[in-house]
Amino acid sequence: MELNDQAAITSGSDFWASTAAGDVPAITLTDGPHGVRLRVPDSEDLLAGQPATCFPPAVASGSTWDPDLLRRMGEALAEECRAMGVQVLLGPGINLKRTPLGGRNFEYFSEDPLVAGVLGAAWVRGLQSGGVGASLKHFAVNSQETDRMRVSADVDERSLRELYLRAFQRVVTTAQPWTVMCSYNRVNGVYASQNRWLLTEVLRDEWGFEGLVVSDWGAVVDRVEAVRAGLDLTMPGPDPTGDRALVEAVGDGRLPADALARSADRVRSLVAKTTAVGRTDGYDADRHHALAREIAARGIVLLKNEGDLLPLDPGGTIAVVGELARTPRYQGGGSSQMTPTRLDDALTAIAESAPGRVRFTADPAEAVELAQGSDAAVVFAGTEQETEGSDRESLDLPADQRKLIAAVAAANPRTVVVLANGGVVLTTPWDRDVGALLEGWLLGQAGGSAVADVLFGRVNPSGRLTETIPLRLEDHPSYLDFPGEAGHVRYGEGIHVGYRGFDARRQEVAYPFGFGLSYTTFSYGEATATATETGVDIRLRVTNTGPRDGREVVQAYVSLPSSRVRRAPRELKAFAGVEIRAGETAEVVLHADRSDLAYWDVVLQRWVVEDGTYTIEVGASSRDIRATTAVEVAGDEARHPLSADSTLAEWLADPRGAELLMEVFTRMPTEGGGMAAGMTLDPATLQMAMGFPLSRMAMFPGSPFTADALAGLVVAANK
């Protein structure tokens, strides 16, 4: 391909299409991830989309903890893409919910990288099985909307590797998305679009990514530096200035010719792969709506159900309060905003479930009287803050809604609250006064029917929280370091993101990570754990002890009390959703992968599994542990090399280093008050000396650590 054509196909031809050149046709890339938002032709509104199924956003689909459902969702999205002439769907979004104020949290799965990675990989496999390319986004550390185009996410290396990159690593290595989308922000000072360490050294060289890196729309600052770093396709287009800059940079030697050629080849490869499967005539919209309803019902989380208020009796009178029951909020704002094929509302679905028994108001003045005269009241409440481009200012429900909930609950203790929100809201103290609480998130176009399915027990709720609901915003681990200032945001909580931070500080929460109730109950038997070459196998029996068939999400948390590095008190390492009929028992087998037991060693610059006795806690949430066991795991060879700048304590902690130092100290005279005398006769002096690098000890009287002696010790210690 000619140099000019190579440059041309590495940028778009318009807002949603790549560039055709030579024998390479253009392809269409469009927004996801919870639906196909294909722009209406000739519309001046860039966000106006053609009708397509609006599936539940990730805030709800993630709460299913069900990779099979996410795979099926991906398959359905592929069918719609092919019917609409779309070759790449821009999703899934798997950034961590570092702060509950994140305006785009509704598009992300979890505060935990295992949940985000497992569900994201399933979505990718489903989509790509239908011949449509996924675009894993936003790579990387895109955890806020405030100053998102420029802000530098300043993250220490362990936190970056173990949390913010780990979900991406899982999806890349297990599902091979055809594209990865780089984010707008800077990562430790370097724009993601021109961060060679991120796009080439980590993504390709370490993880083995085989696909194409596309920019987020408008994320490229310097086209030449972006290609040099490993970015392949700049969107949107056209970008004639950038095309010329690439040609000139290759011509004058500033950019290696093979760098541009590689990017062009990756575009050609993506085009060939995504055009191998042709366009179809249509898709079954009713079947997809039914799938959206199934996912929505499974994503609803039952947070409270005093006195078994739910499920509702369809024979009783029901007061339905709140405009959100009639006019649902089912998705967030921004580039993923959909035009649904149809839209269910909860009021209609409830009325159809209890014919002639439902009365509705949206008028707060009438709500109390209506509630007093009904067997049960259902209040619909929610937020309108979650959108791309800005972060939330508060976690509170609007004041008028809190006042309404309090008034209705005072009038009728059999009050149910149904929430519609894209990120967690504070539930304290008003949740104490209501009988039942459903976290309904944003449920997509079939959410109204899904809410009725759960309210009346046609679906036994099994959704689980993928993020912690705090008692106060100030309690959150990210609170003091968000949203940053002067172009930087410091990730000061380190590895203690979300529930890890709450647990490390023994902080009380409103509802913990992994929590969710059911209309039945489950008991857990004893757990056993066995170490294998690939990780740890965990087995236990779970019994449905209640009156209804149900689904339990069994969660395994792992810790290493003897770890040489700081760790969270417990970390999710495996989970499984198990369908169990009433009165029956299921044998549950969980597998914690060996790679997930590792920490990132900043000295050795690699993953390390430590030797030791690992504690395995199995339960129904991070705070509801039902069975505990332990297992011995053989670690990796991970000896840190010793140097002249290693401290006395580090030398003595190393077997070979300690042996060599003992030989040195035994040869030193203890008379005359020299170093040897002080260290052997005075424990306080020895303790103080533990923090000294050996090179600094050379300055002390009587020190044996001359430059030549130290050099010899270092060589001998590291043989």
Q: Which long-range contacts (CB under 8 A, 24 or more apart) does 569-575 make?
A: 569/500, 569/503, 569/504, 570/503, 570/615, 570/617, 570/622, 571/500, 572/112, 572/114, 572/115, 572/513, 572/514, 572/622, 573/114, 573/536, 573/597, 574/114, 574/538, 575/65, 575/114, 575/115, 575/118
State the number of CA atoms in the 13 A half-sphere of 22 facing the CB: 16
Closest by Cα among 386, 384, 335, 382 to 144: 386
DSSP β-bridge partners for residue 592: 536
- Name residue 416's amino acid: V
216 is catalytic: yes
Sequence-distant (6+) residues with CB within 8 A of 399 are none
State the number of CA atoms in the 13 A half-sphere of 595 facing the CB: 10
Across the beta sheet with 436-439, what order do the strands follow? 301-305, 436-439, 415-420, 376-382, 318-321, 358-361
d(CA 557, CA 570) in angstroms, rounded, equals: 6
- Name residue 53's amino acid: T
N residues, the chain: 719
Q: How far is CA 458 from CA 433, 438, 453, in A?
A: 26, 15, 5
DSSP β-bridge partners for residue 517: 302
Of 66, 147, 216, 431, catalytic: 216
State the number of CA atoms in the 13 A half-sphere of 310 facing the CB: 31
134 phi/psi in degrees, rounded to 5: -90, 165
List the structure tokens of 46: 């860039």
d(CA 194, CA 219) in angstroms, rounded, equals: 10
Closest by Cα among 224, 235, 214 to 257: 224
SS3 content of the chain, % helix, strand, coil (to 5): 35, 20, 45
660 phi/psi in degrees, rounded to 5: -65, -40
Sequence-distant (6+) residues with CB within 8 A of 156 are 491, 494
User: Between 113-128 and 67-84, two packed helices, what is the crossing angle to 10 degrees?
Assistant: 40
d(CA 223, CA 324) in angstroms, rounded, equals: 46
8 phi/psi in degrees, rounded to 5: -65, -45
List the structure tokens of 32: 């996801």
Q: Distance between the two ends of the chain, CA-based, in angstroms?
A: 52
List the structure tokens of 591: 């597998």
Tally helices (H) and strands (E) across the chain.
22, 27
- Name residue 307's amino acid: G
Catalytic sites, residue numbers: 216
